[in-house]
Structure 1
Amino acid sequence: MSAEATNPVSEAGATGPDAPGRRRGRPRIDLRRLGRAALLGATAGPAARDRLPDAIGHVAEAHRAHHPEADLAVLRRAYVLAESSHRGQFRKSGEPYITHPLAVTLILAELGAETTTLTAALLHDTVEDTEVTLDQVRHEFGDEVAYLVDGVTKLEKVDYGAAAEPETFRKMLVATGNDVRVMSIKLADRLHNMRTLGVMRPEKQARIAKVTRDVLIPLAERLGVQALKTELEDLVFAILHPEEYEATRALIAGNTGAGDALAAIAEQVSGLLREAGVGAEVLVRPRHFVSVHRVRLKRGDLRGSDFGRLLVLVAEDADCYAVLGELHTCFTPVVSEFKDFIAAPKFNLYQSLHTAVAAPDGAVAEVLIRTHQMHKVAEAGVVALGNPYSGPDTAADQPPGDDGERADPTRPGWLSRLLDWQQAAPDPDTFWTSLRADLAQDQEITVFRTDGGTPGTISLPAGATCVDAAYAQHGEAAHSCLGARVNGRLAPLSTVLQDGDTVQPLLAQDTASGPSPQWLDHARTPAARIAITGWLRTHPEAAKIPAAAPRPAVGVTADRRSGTRLRAELPGTETPAVRPAGCCTPVPPDEITGFVVRGGAVTVHRTACASADAMRRLGRAPVTVHWGDTAACRVTLVAESFGRPRLLADLTEAIATEGAAVVAATVEPPSEQRVRHTYTLQLPDAAGLPALMRAMRDVPGVYDVSRARHPASPQP
């Protein structure tokens, strides 16, 4: 049973009706008033049997707004059962416990959930916290409602101990694979509990907030439920980063007139579209707290137009492009901000056109252009799809997943991938760690596979390699993988795949062969890492080099400028000189390859270096190279940023704070309010490079930091 109460964060304004990101037009329901109505229960008498209890009047109103013909009788029966079974239970705040399932149901009703989901939401805690059994729910409300209630019912700590939380999430995810509405209810449940977390001890608040940040928010993002995701982000922000939250709150409070700048642009856009004969609704959409915080870190000082965005809603897809054309014709477009998520939707169903335009006074406004249906899906994600399992040939009371024929539009590649690898992670700790790592990868790519002429697609996280593709396609048979063809050309297993690549893993006929420990350096997906780790655990001899095996000649050198040690392996007997290439400045733990150049020396490149690709195309044979002892290193970084005063000073201060020394620096002239800084830096330890790059990205105004890339030029 949940036992949270009113959160001071809400009182501070983070999720109040005037907070950025909160949808306008519907005030927060007074739980005390709702609690008093709940305590009265169902009014006695025959006439009352057909009347909806007052306590769920708000739910009925919100539900009918989306589903005018909805039958509310089942909601009445669900409420009566929930209220009677929870009667006598109270939350720490003093409200009757029934206010919690009512609030969860109201959240889903406002998002447009259908009646079955709302029925399950009313009953979602009955099996867990009362004497009501799952069989009773099934008998009174059918298999679908019972499945949803069971899917969100927690496992008992008495039975599972410390593994109860990860195993509960595993159970919910498996249930979500059959019916995505399970996770919709869980997300609404967590949102209400986060809203009312204030009476918990600070350490428990932080623990719940971290799980919300690491698991629930990424799931809300992947399911496209932005309305829940943004409020969860703000609540987590307030708990885990109170100082930054308070600074952001003060910034918003101190710019009460910020919306005027956007309102003026919105008025210009509305007039422009009226003259062009394009029917559209132009709205000012305030940013929520975390969004304002991110923009401040990216741009530094904020203008009024930075506190929100314009939302243009139209009837048809073609109208979206008509609006875009008018905006780019009559305003100055910021070309780098244009993205077309209509032609290429995001993996979470999101569709919109994104652009930014500059007004005559120099104010820049970000604009989102979408149809009304796109907007509904953008806000509510899978919730907006209603019941994805019902159709002309599907009985309403048929339990989900029992016929094997239903096409589920809500089960994208990331969910299928997650459900596959979780089966290979019987250990709760491995599952919990892998789940957080998988959800932390916030992008997805699609690659085309070819296997003896059989085409298909594989969904993988951004940064995935041929190793990941092999295990995604072949499972444990990928243990015998020798390499791959990427876009028709031979490629090492470490090759990072790009969206749209064609990949064909090459498997050895000898099924007794297996992966090496180095494969773990290239594996990004939990499925691949779990499979490789399992094989190595059962084959410990795989990591050993046979005593009688001939060893190649090894050249060891230290870059005189940095001290980084490199090792190159050659079949001849002389010890080669080894040096890092200047074109890509590799540093540990970069994946590297080497090539013999004039004089017998070996130059070492990053695997993805354009110069290395050019030498491969010329037929130059690569040389195996390894990093030796990690020591100091020299690296060139490029910082892309918006121009502002003191930017150079702040960047150099961030570099110095991370213990790096500036060897050389260049600043290019500003272009379109953007400026590029290039730094050659000396690091005391190559392992500190990721932290240094993060620190530079955190400097206000900086929007990207990357390693320098030089033009490809084959070496002699």
Structure 2
Amino acid sequence: MSAEATNPATPGPVTGPAARWRARIDLRRLGRAALLGPAARDRLPDAIGHVAEAHRAHHPDADLEPLRRAYVLAESSHRGQMRKSGEPYITHPLAVTLILAELGAETTTLTASLLHDTVEETEVTLDQVGEQFGAEVRYLVDGVTKLEKVDYGAAAEPETFRKMLVATGSDVRVMSIKLADRLHNMRTLGVMRPEKQARIAKVTRDVLIPLAERLGVQALKTELEDLVFAILHPEEYEHTRELIVDNASRADDPLAEVADEMRTVLRDADIQAEVLIRPRHFVSVHRVARKRGRLRGADFGRLLVLVGEDADCYGVLGELHTCMTPVVSEFKDFIAVPKFNLYQSLHTAVAREDGQVVEVLIRTHQMHKVAEAGVIALGNPYAPSSDEPVDGERADPTRPGWLSRLLDWQEAAPDPDTFWSTLREDLAQDREITVFRPDGGTLGLPEGASCVDAAYAQYGEDAHACIGARVNGRLATLSTVLRDGDTVQLLMGQDPASEPSREWLEHAHTPAARIAIQRWLASHPSAEDADPRPEDGATTPRPTTEALSLEGSPTARPAANVVVDQPDATVRLAGCCTPVPPDGITGFAVRGGAVTVHRVECAAVSRMKSTGRPEIPVHWGDTSECRVTLVAESFVRPHLLADLTEAMALEGAEIVSATVEPPTQQRVRHTYTLQLPDAAHLPALMRAMRNVAGVYDVARTQTQPGVS
């Protein structure tokens, strides 16, 4: 919003929206027109002539009266205010509105854009805006109005963005105005102190540019990238500028030569198409230079082929691949599978005889409009069609999955600092994947998301009860990283008191998952420290110095590894369930006067109780050694057994016995009976085994051999 001044030295892109904008408008001339005051009533003021012309180019039948009235109010309320460059303040909302008009924004957006600083910078109130221009314009102006530093202090900036994002969740036009506002302020940042320029540029880089990318507004995103590049990396910017200038001075242009060849090919095929050269912007050239080293002529731009219909895109592709030398690895179809930000195009590349590779974009004129302007090109996405009744709900066709996720987790962000840092981290994840649910639904997740993220995306805080997952039909750990197109079935426990594991934080890639887990842990401060939760259903042993003791057995005698209350009793730990402290346990007398101890949930206990065999009360005594049987399931790979046994040895476990079953379908099952120096080591042991590459599950044994 406001206060920066024009700086002729501030660099911008060589071509693109900025160049067209600068060619058509002179802020100083607009400033002089504004100083003359509003035109006569009902006559369109000269100062918004360029806005009206750009608007009518996209919307020939648009009613310009709201723009006239908005300009009159904005000019009169800002009159006397000056920018730091000495220009009238009204030049700023005029410039912001022109940016949006050239991208095709509809009348309501332009009206709100003209008024976007009135409530923040003048005596105009939101109620006045609503009374004169309606609820929609009022909502948009409110959405981009900053919160006062006097009320919020250091939290003003993050809380302003939180407010703006929440408003964007109901109307994406809020963010369209903000992006255009930031672009003009970045263009005119030169009179600010260097440290303030850097601070604003960093926020633009971390928050506004990713939002422009997600909303598909490439025309704004690319210019913002170049302006930030010039401020934060001036030396690299200058080097890139020199590369562009040197290339422009060369006599030969491989892009122009290939473009002419393509025009001939398509003309001979009777395909109506435009072939244009699209120079790369500064940041794009810089990225290509870092990737490829020495740049050649074809690296400084791409060819854009524009056609009338979707089918023509594939016709062009077929002709180019038939008549020229395609680079097959460069082909991508974003028409059949659009990007999450509405972008559609066919991408391919062709090779010249000299080895240079020319990248080609193929799209319709409408696709090109959306590729440049994103959600702005959709006009008013909330206007009901004539055959649909208007109800109280807004169905927003422009609200993508990433925005829904952002709005969900921001509600749980406990403070402005957490929100601000988490927002930047979330927006840094620049690719989205789609995973499928067995019920036919889908989940949109950032690239790198795990099953933990999928659980919280689908179930919210109920995901605390998640106990596992199947990915593409196969059992998988919750740490499994998902890929685009995977099918994920989340396995949920039935215990309402289920708890998330602290280890899930290591695998949580989305803010929604991390914040939910952290909030639970914060509200249960002793849960993970005093009584670590079992993983995947394993009973969790607490640190203890007790061993097993027997109550009421007059014939017991001492047994190896346990101290019992009755010295004559012999106690055995059942091999079917291998109990360890602090498992709930019970005992049964067996032949020879010994007592076999089982976990209370062991299937053998139910079987023996059903036959009338009496239980013998037992409890844990005062030694810490224990024996446990674990089952590990893994994929087949070389050296897996060696790596797994090494991991167990490093945790202090002694292998008493081991069984490895024959592999089936590239999976193998291992069963290990282990002696542990302390029952408290069990969770760490199971984690270490799971961390071995190829192992996807480790659990306590559930096999139930007969009891003698």
User: How many residue pairs get matched?
Assistant: 576
Deviations 1:204-249 (A, max 9, x none): 1111000000000000000000000000000000011111101101
Superposed, which structure 2 residues align to 1:607-622 within 5 Å?
617-620=667-670
CA, structure 1 residues 127+490, in 2 after alignment: closer, same or farther (shift >3 Å)?
Answer: same
Normalized against structure 2, the TM-score is what? 0.77
* Identical aligned residues as a percent: 74
Whole-Å Cα distance in 2 between the matches of residues 41 and 277 of structure 1?
55
Aligned with 1:263: secondary structure? helix
Aligned to 1:476: 461
Which of 273, 297, 302 in structure 2 is aligned with 1:280?
Answer: 273
Superposed, which structure 2 residues align to 1:9-24 within 5 Å?
9-10=9-10, 13-15=11-13, 18-19=14-15, 22=18, 24=20
Superposed, which structure 2 residues align to 1:142-291 within 5 Å?
142-257=134-249, 260-291=253-284
State the 1:395 CA deviation. Answer: 10
State the 1:616 CA deviation. Answer: 6.8
- 8 Å CA contact 1:310–1:367 kept in 2: the answer is yes
- 8 Å CA contact 1:21–1:287 kept in 2: the answer is no
Aligned with 1:291: secondary structure? helix
Please tell me whether residue 359 in structure 1 is matched to residue 352 in structure 2.
yes
Mean CA deviation greater in 324-333 or 367-376? 324-333
Aligned to 2:286: 293
CA, structure 1 residues 138+621, in 2 after alignment: closer, same or farther (shift >3 Å)?
Answer: farther
Deviations 1:481-524 (A, max 9, x none): 11112222221110111112121222222221211211100000
- 8 Å CA contact 1:285–1:308 kept in 2: the answer is yes
Superposed, which structure 2 residues align to 1:177-576 within 5 Å?
177-257=169-249, 260-393=253-386, 403-404=392-393, 406-450=394-438, 454-544=439-529, 545=531, 546-548=542-544
Whole-Å Cα distance in 2 between the matches of residues 598 and 103 of structure 1?
64
Aligned to 1:595: 644
Normalized against structure 1, the TM-score is what? 0.76
State the 1:158 CA deviation. Answer: 0.6
Deviations 1:83-131 (A, max 9, x none): 0000000000000000000000000000000000000000000011101
Aligned to 1:636: none
Whole-Å Cα distance in 2 between the matches of residues 593 and 341 of structure 1?
45
Aligned to 1:37: 33
Whole-Å Cα distance in 2 between the matches of residues 42 and 320 of structure 1?
48
Whole-Å Cα distance in 2 between the matches of residues 403 and 593 of structure 1?
64
- 8 Å CA contact 1:465–1:523 kept in 2: the answer is yes
Deviations 1:106-164 (A, max 9, x none): 00000000000000000000011101010100010000000000000000001111110
- 8 Å CA contact 1:295–1:306 kept in 2: the answer is yes
Whole-Å Cα distance in 2 between the matches of residues 296 and 595 of structure 1?
44
Aligned to 2:133: 141
Which of 88, 93, 113 in structure 2 is aligned with 1:121?
Answer: 113
- 8 Å CA contact 2:433–2:483 kept in 1: the answer is yes
Whole-Å Cα distance in 1 between the matches of residues 411 and 131 of structure 2?
31
Instruction: Give the AA of the match of 2:419.
Output: F
Whole-Å Cα distance in 1 between the matches of residues 344 and 95 of structure 2?
29
Over alpha carbons, which structure has the higher Rg?
A: 2
Aligned to 2:5: 5
Whole-Å Cα distance in 1 between the matches of residues 254 and 152 of structure 2?
56
Whole-Å Cα distance in 2 between the matches of residues 112 and 520 of structure 1?
44
Aligned to 1:106: 98
CA, structure 1 residues 246+509, in 2 after alignment: closer, same or farther (shift >3 Å)?
Answer: same
Whole-Å Cα distance in 1 between the matches of residues 647 and 203 of structure 2?
56
- 8 Å CA contact 1:593–1:624 kept in 2: the answer is no
State the 1:598 CA deviation. Answer: 14
Instruction: Give the AA of the match of 2:214.
Output: R
State the 1:593 CA deviation. Answer: 12
State the 1:50 CA deviation. Answer: 2.4
- 8 Å CA contact 1:5–1:92 kept in 2: the answer is yes
Whole-Å Cα distance in 2 between the matches of residues 265 and 273 of structure 1?
12
State the 1:392 CA deviation. Answer: 2.2
Aligned with 2:277: secondary structure? strand
CA, structure 1 residues 584+295, in 2 after alignment: closer, same or farther (shift >3 Å)?
Answer: farther
State the 1:331 CA deviation. Answer: 1.2
Which of 56, 62, 84 in structure 2 is aligned with 1:64?
Answer: 56
Aligned to 2:539: none
Deviations 1:595-615 (A, max 9, x none): 34999999xxxxxxxxxx989
Which of 31, 35, 49 in structure 1 is aligned with 2:41?
Answer: 49
CA, structure 1 residues 293+504, in 2 after alignment: closer, same or farther (shift >3 Å)?
Answer: same
- 8 Å CA contact 2:81–2:89 kept in 1: the answer is yes
Deviations 1:180-211 (A, max 9, x none): 00000000000000000011111111110000
Whole-Å Cα distance in 1 between the matches of residues 667 and 17 of structure 2?
52
Aligned to 1:624: 686
Instruction: Give the AA of the match of 1:384.
Output: A
Which of 124, 130, 136 in structure 2 is aligned with 1:132?
Answer: 124
